[in-house]
A and B are shown apart, each in its own frame.
Chain A
Amino acid sequence: MKPENETLIRFPSLSSNEAFARSVTAAFAAQMDPTLDELGDVKTAVSEAVTNAIVHAYPDRIGPVTLKLRRLEGNVLEITVKDAGCGIPDIAQARQPMFTTGGAERSGMGLTIMESFMNSLSIRSLPGRGTTVRMRKKLIGRGEAACRP
C-alpha cells in the first residue's frame, strides 16, 4: 500500500527518547485531524512499543530503534517500531497479559494495551536479530466524529 505521507526516525534506546517518540507520533498524526481520544491511543501504543525496544531488546546496552510512521489511504495511521536487539523467543507467551521479563517498573500489559488501543498489531522477531512491531489504526478524525450521533 503506497503511503500518502511517511517519515522515518532513528534514535538510540535511551529511556528519555520515549517522550520524544510520542511527540513525533502526535505531530505526524496531527495532519490526520485525530480526536483527543485517538491521539491518546496512538501515543500510548507507540510509548509501549518503544519502551519494549528500550527495556527488552537491549537489556544491557544501548542500540538503535527505528520509528516509521505512514499515513495510508482511508486515514489509516501505521506505526512501525524496529530494533536490532535480542529478539523475542516466544511471541505467544509475550502477548499474555501480565507477562514480563522487565523489572518492577513494568506491568506486563504493554502488548495488551497496544492490541486494544490499535486496530491491528503484528510482531515479527528473530532471536539475536531483532523485533519489528507494526500497528495500524484508522482515525475517524474530529470532523467525522462531530457528525456522528
Chain B
Amino acid sequence: MNFTSFLQDKRLTILLSGEIDHHAAREIMSALTAKIDVYLPSYCELDFGAVTFMDSSGIAIVIHTLRAMNELEGKLRLTHVPPQPMKVLLASGIQKLVAVSQERSPA
C-alpha cells in the first residue's frame, strides 16, 4: 500500500493505491490519523483512483476517517472510486453518510 498526501488551504488530499484489505488497513488508518492530527484539515478527500482492490476493511477506514473529520467539524469526500471498490462502498450504505463520487473532486 502506497500512501501519498498533500495539503492546500486546509484541504487534505490522500491518494490511496494498491489493495486495501485487513492486512493493509491498520497501517492506512494509522497514517490517516497521523495526517489529520497534524494538519487539522477542514476538508479531507480520499482519492481511490489507484486502488486496485478493496474489501470491507475499506469501509472501516472510511468510517474511521469520517469520525476524525466529524470531531474537527470538517467534511469528507471519497473521489475517483473505481467500480470494484464502489460496489463494496454502496453495499455498505456508506453513501448515506459521506459523499462518494467516481469523478475527481471539483477544483
Q: Mark A27-39, 1 if CB is under 8 A from B, else 0.
A: 0000000001100
Q: Is A142 an interface residue (CB 8 A)?
A: no
Residue of A whose beta carbon sits closest to that of B18? A19
User: Count the A-B residue pairs with Cβ separation under 8 angstroms: how many?
Assistant: 75
Given the interface pairs A43-B53, A44-B55, A109-B91, the reply to whether A55 lies near B22 with Cβ below 8 Å is: yes
B87 touches A40 (CB 8 A): yes
Please give the distance in Å from A142's CB to the nearest CB on chain B.
15
- Are the C-beta atoms of A51 and B55 separated by less than 8 Å? yes
Q: Are B87 and A18 in contact (CB under 8 A)?
A: no
| B19:A19 contact, CB within 8 angstroms | yes
Interface 9-mer from B7-15, B23-31, B69-77, B97-105: B23-31
Specify which of B53, B57, B88, B91 is in contact with A105 (CB 8 Å cutoff): B57
**How many chain-B residues does the 8 Å CB contact rule pick out?**
22
Closest to A22 in B: B53
Query: Per a CB cutoff under 8 Å, which of B21, B56, B60, B88 touches A104?
Result: B60
Extra inter-chain contacts (17) besides given A19-B23, A22-B53, A47-B55, CB under 8 Å: A15-B23, A16-B23, A18-B22, A36-B83, A37-B83, A40-B83, A41-B87, A44-B87, A47-B21, A107-B56, A109-B59, A109-B92, A110-B55, A110-B56, A113-B88, A113-B92, A117-B87
Ordered nearest first, which 5 A-B pairs have the shortest CB separation? A15-B23, A40-B84, A105-B25, A107-B59, A107-B60
